[in-house]
Amino acid sequence: MSKNKSSESVKVVVRCRPLSRKEESNGPAGGIVQMDLRLGQVILKNPRAPPSEPQKTFTFDAVYDSSSKQRDLYDESVRPLIDSVLAGFNGTIFAYGQTGTGKTYTMQGLWLDPEKQGVIPNAFDHIFTHISRSQSDKQYLVRASYLEIYLEEIRDLLDPNHGNTRGLELRESPETGVYVQDLTSCVCKSIKEIEEVMNVGNQARAVGATDMNEHSSRSHALFLITVECSQPGPDGRKHIRVGRLNLVDLAGSERQAKTGVQGDRLKEAAKINLSLSALGNVISALADGRSSHVPYRDSKLTRLLQDSLGGNAKTVMVATLGPAPQHYDETLTTLRYANRAKNIQNQPRVNEDPKDALLREFQKEIARLRAQLNHRRFRSKQKKEQVDGEAWEREGDEEEEEVEEEEVEKEAEEFVKLEEQRLEKENEAIREDQFLLAEEKQKLLGENEKMMGDLRKRQEATEQLTARYKAMESKLLVGGKNIIDHTNEQQKMLEMKRQEIAEQTRREREMQQQMLIQDEEAVELRETFTSLQQEVEAKTKKLKKLYAKLQCTKAEIKDVNDEHVRSRQELEQTQNELTRELKFKYLIIENFIPPEEKNKIMNRLMFDPEEDEWKFKPLVPDESKSSQMKKRPASAVGYKRPISQYARVALSMGTHSRYRAENVMLLELDMTPPNTSALTDGEQNQSPTLNNFPTNDKGICKSRSWCQSQKSITSSSSNNSLFAALKTFN
Ligand code: ADP
Ligand code: MG
C-alpha cells in the first residue's frame, strides 16, 4: 500500500456514541449503525429504504461501538502516535463529526472521572509518565499552546486579551513549516500545570461565546504540545529531537443552512464551514492522488494542518457518529469523508536538531547563568581566603567540580556574613574611640556604611541570579526523576500488558481484513468441480454475490451523484444571494458616490492574499515615514517667509494710510508716561513738556513717541497735520 519506504497512510477510526435518552424516547427504531469490531467494519442501515436494499459497509483501521471505553480507544489507536511524538515525530489527532456525536467527549471527556477521561488528558499522563521513566541523561522541555479558529480568525486562548485583539496571523518558514505568529506558549513541568493551561483555554473559550454550544460547534479548537528532548548521541554531543502534537476538536460537520440569510449573516454562514469544506477538498485532492494542486491555502485550518495531511506527520482521524435514524444523511457523509481520508499518504520523519529548538536556547542560557554565578561565588571565596590569609589554589579536578561548587557557594555566603560582622565591629570600635574627632568618626562610619551597602547589593544581585538560574533549570525536565507520584512496578507491568493486548488486537484485525480480501480472490482458484452441476451452482452463487456488489456500487454512485447535485444547488443558491448582495452594493456606489471619489478609492485598494482581504495602500510610502512632515513652501524671493499677495501690495505701496490698518499694525511706541491729570484738574496740572500740546477739553490726550523730541513735535509737519486733525475732532 505504501508508495515508498517512509510513507504511511492516515489512520482512520470510527466511534459511535450510545443513543441519548431523548433519542431513545423519540422512536421505536434502534440505532442505524452496526459495528463489527473484529473486522473493523461499520454497517449503516438506511431507515427510509426498503428492507431489500443492501446495507452500506465501510472498513476502517478500527471501530468503537457505543460500549467502547475511552481507555480502549487510547491504548489501541492513540498510544502509538504519542510514542512517536515522544520519539521526535509530528503527530495529529483530529475528531471529525456532526455536532453532538462525541468529538469533545472523545478528545477531552469528563476530566473528573479517570475512566471517562478523553484523549487529551490521557496524552498528558502518557507524556509525563514517559519522561519520569526515561533515562537520566535525557532532558525534556514541554510546551503547550491553545488556539481556536472561529469565522476564519485565529484566537489565542491563552492570551488574556484575546477578545480585544485582532486574530493572529499565519506565517511559513522552511524550518518549521506553517506556524501561528505571536502565539502564547507555556512551558509545563507537570501534568497539573498542563491541565491548568487547558482549563484556562477552555474558560477563555466559554467566556468568548455568548452561546457556548453554538460557538463550540462552529469553531475549531487546537491544542498544541511540543516535546523537545535532548540526549547525548554516540558522537558525545547532545542531540535534540522535537515532536509536535496537534490535538484538534473540529467544528460540527453538519451542513450550515445558508439559504434565507442576508448581509453579514450570510458572509458569516459562508465562513463557518469554509475551513471544513476546504479540509474536505484537501482530503479529496490527496486521496485522489491525481490532482497536482492541493488547496491548502484555501483556509486557515488546512494551512495549519498542512503537515498533518500529506506531509511530515503521523495522523489519526477519529470520525464520530450518532446512531439516531434522523441523522442518517449526516452519518453517511461522515463515513464517506472518513473513508476518503484513509487513502492519504504521509511522510513522517524524526525532527532532529532543528534550528529553532527552544531547548538548545534554554541550555545555553542556563550554562551562561551558571558560569556567571560561579564567577561571582568564586570571587567571594577568593576574597574570603585573602581575608583569612590563606593562599588560593584552584584545583582543576573535574570530578571535584560539583562538590566544589557547593563548597564555593557555602564559603561565599560565609564570607558575606563574616564581612558584615567585621564591619559591624569596626563601627562599634569607631563609635567608642574617644581619641577620634567627631568629624573623622562620621567619615569613617560613612565609609563603612557604604561598604556595607555595596556588600548587600552584591549579595542581592547574586540572589537574583541564583533565582533566575533555578527557575530556568526547573523548566527542563530530567528523565529518571519522579514528576508524578510514583507508579509502582506492578502498575508499570499492567500498562505494558495492556499495550501488548491492544497491539495484538490491532494486528489480529489487520489480518482478518486481509484474509477476507484474499479469501474472495483465492476461493475460485482452489475450487475443483466434480460435476457440471456443482460448477453451475458455485458460479451462480458467485454471480449473485457479484451482482449484489454491483448493485451496491450503483447505489453508491447514485448517492454520490445526488449529493453532488445537492451541494451544487446549494452553492448556486449561495452564489445567487451573493450576486444579489453585490448588485445592491453596486447600486449604492454608482448612484451615491461621486465618480472621482470612487476612482480615488479604487486606485488605492490592493488585495492582500495572505490575509484574504482588500487593503488601502499607504498614502506615504513606508520608507519615507520619518520624513512624513510636509516641507514648508520656499519663501517668495527676497522675503523671510511666505507672504500674502495683499501684504506684498501693502509693502510696495509704502506706509500708505490705505494699508496702515491692515495686515501689520503700524503703531509707534508710546514713550510718554501716562497722563491722567488732565482729566481731573484741567490745564494747570499738565506736565510742562506738554504745555503747548493741544488737548481737547474732554480730556482726550493723544499719546506720542517718547523718542520724538519736543522740537520735532512742534516743527514736524506730521504734527501739524495731527494738530489739524485733532482740531477737526474737537
Ligand atoms: P460534540 O463535541 O461532537 O458536539 P459532545 O462530545 O459534546 O459532542 O457529546 C454530546 C453528548 O454525548 C455529551 O453529553 C457526551 O457526554 C455524550 N457522549 C458522546 N460520546 C459518548 C460516548 N462514547 N459515551 C457516552 N456518552 C457520550
Ligand atoms: Mg464539541
Q: Shortest CA distance to 696 belongs to which of 684, 718, 679, 671? A: 679
Centroid of ligand 2 to alpha carbon of 69 (angstroms): 18
Domain 8-356 part of CATH 3.40.850.10? yes
DSSP assignments along 426-437, one per residue: HHHHHHH-SSS-
- On whether the CB atoms of residues 251 and 151 are closer than 8 A, the answer is no
Q: Which amino acid is at 336?
A: R
pLDDT at 680: 46
From the CA of 70, give the closest atom in ligand 1: 23
Q: Is the pLDDT of residue 584 over 90?
A: yes
pLDDT tens column, 622-662: 655 555 566 666 655 666 677 777 777 777 766 666 555 55
Q: For the segment 524-544, what is each residue's pLDDT rounded down to a tens digit?
A: 666 666 778 888 888 898 899
Higher pLDDT, 335 or 491: 335
Q: Apex CA 97: angle with CA 91 and CA 102, to 5°?
A: 90
Q: Is the pLDDT at 460 greater than 90, yes or no?
A: no
Res. 247: pLDDT tops 70: yes
Q: Which of 2-11, 485-494, 579-588, 700-709 has the lowest mean pLDDT?
A: 700-709
Residue 344 CA, chain-centre distance (Å), reads 28
262 CA from centroid of ligand 2 (Å): 27
Q: Is 102 in the pocket of ligand 1 (CB under 6 A)?
A: yes
89 grid coordinates: 515525530
Evaluate: CB of 327 within 6 angstroms of ligand 1. no
Higher pLDDT, 414 or 125: 125
Other Cβ atoms less than 10 A from the Cβ of 11: the count is 22
What is the 61 CA–ligand 1 centroid distance (Å)?
Answer: 22
DSSP structural state of residue 109: B
Residue 103 assigned ligand-binding role: yes
Position 580 pLDDT exceeds 70: yes
Q: Determine whether the shortest distance from the Cβ of 101 to ligand 1 is under 6 A.
A: yes
Say whether 442 counts as a known binding-site residue: no
Query: pLDDT tens across 591-622, in order?
Result: 999 999 999 899 999 988 777 778 888 876 66
98 annotated as a binding-site residue: yes
Nearest CA to ligand 1 atom 24: 17
Q: How far is residue 513 from each of residues 28, 89, 516, 709, measured CA to CA in Å?
A: 34, 28, 5, 126
Beta bridge partners of 33: 44
CA distances from 224 to 89, 431, 715 (A): 14, 66, 100
Which protein residues have a CB closer than 5 Å to ligand 2 (ion)? 103-104, 216
**Cα(100) to centroid(ligand 1), Å:** 6
Lowest mean pLDDT among 202-206, 344-348, 431-435: 431-435
Cα–Cα distance, 469 to 478 (Å, whole number): 16
d(CA 145, CA 617): 34
HSE on the CB side for 265, CA within 13 Å?
7
CB 604 within 8 A of CB 615: no
What DSSP line would sit under 235-259, residue for residue? TSSEEEEEEEEEEEEPPP-SPPP-T
- Which of 15, 70, 105 for mutating ligand 1's site (highest number of atoms within 8 Å of CB)? 105
Residue of 224, 228, 234, 245 lying closest to 138 (CA atoms): 228
Is 342 labeled as ligand-binding?
no
For residue 189, is pLDDT > 50?
Answer: yes
